[in-house]
Amino acid sequence: MLKFQKNIVSAAVAVVAFWLCAFSVAHAWGMLSGDQSQLLDYQNVLSKEPKEALTTFVMMGFRLVGLFLGIGALLILASLFLRREFRQIQDAVLLKWALLSFVIAGTIYGGLMRIVSNQQGAALLFFFSMLLYLVLYSLVGQRTKTNGLFNSIVLLPLYAILLYTMGMPGWAKIFGGDQVINRYVNMFSQSFIADLPGGTALMIYILGILELAVPAFLTISLASGEFKLYADKIWFNYALLLSIFTFGMLCFGLAVLLNFAGSTNLVFYPIFTLLILVSLNKTIKRNKRYSDEA
């Protein structure tokens, strides 16, 4: 029975890896060979205010996303058909690198969405990248073979995701001027938030400070060497915890406006960040236990 269950799991891993490969090949081709109109569709994914222009910088960004998707697809093919890693997940070295390649692609794509102010697209790519990170942590938790290079770079995309997800909106709130603040003031003019001491403007400034504190914690974390996979992560954990709290505040703000779609979408930000926090710290503790046993 145990052998049968193991075979089922191996088959499921192979099926998911195959379709992830097919997904990546299709979009890698689209981003690497597509013309400006096709790349414009990628830029405007889920956007409520689609743009009609595509800058050279964003176009090159999509080419880079396509490149990493293609690299990930090739690694999955090698994992499935050359090494057959799905049979022994502990040896899934190529699959691990493939997932990291997909995470890098999602990180770049999400950054592009932030640059063009496509918040809906940015949310989609945030969830995509975080979900792949959770799968990647499960692989690392299986004691897959790792090396110094992988352990040193695997968390860098996560740092980048948090930096632009929290830093860019925080910067806009603090330094965006009256135009940004007035938009929020008008948005919450009929809510109780407008009647609080300092009104809506003060709440937005507080949110901006909290959002900018996350990049500050991440910078200290990077300088302290916490980006290495199995290093203790004091400042990084602070950054994740503060992100969870701030995401919760943003979610509550839209809930006050009875914006169910927006607030429900924001619920997933703190949930995924919490899962990352728990999974990462479990991985570190598990590695320390293995090291002590050795």
In this structure, are residues 180 and 173 in contact, taking their beta carbons and an 8 Å threshold? yes
225: tokens are 């060497």
- Residue 207: both structure tokens together: 């949110």
**Two structure tokens written together for 250:** 């943003």
Residues lower than pLDDT 70 in the chain: 1-6, 86-91, 140-147, 287-294
d(CA 27, CA 25): 6
Write out pLDDT tens, residues 220-258.
Answer: 999 999 998 888 899 999 999 999 999 999 999 999 988
Tens-digit pLDDT profile for residues 85-94:
766 666 678 8
Q: Look up residue 199 and give its two tokens.
A: 């009104």
CA distance 150 to 153: 5
**Domain ranges, ordered by start, for the chain:** 1-145, 166-294
pLDDT computed for residue 294 by the predictor: 47
CA distance 207 to 203: 6
Cα 53 versus chain centre, distance: 26
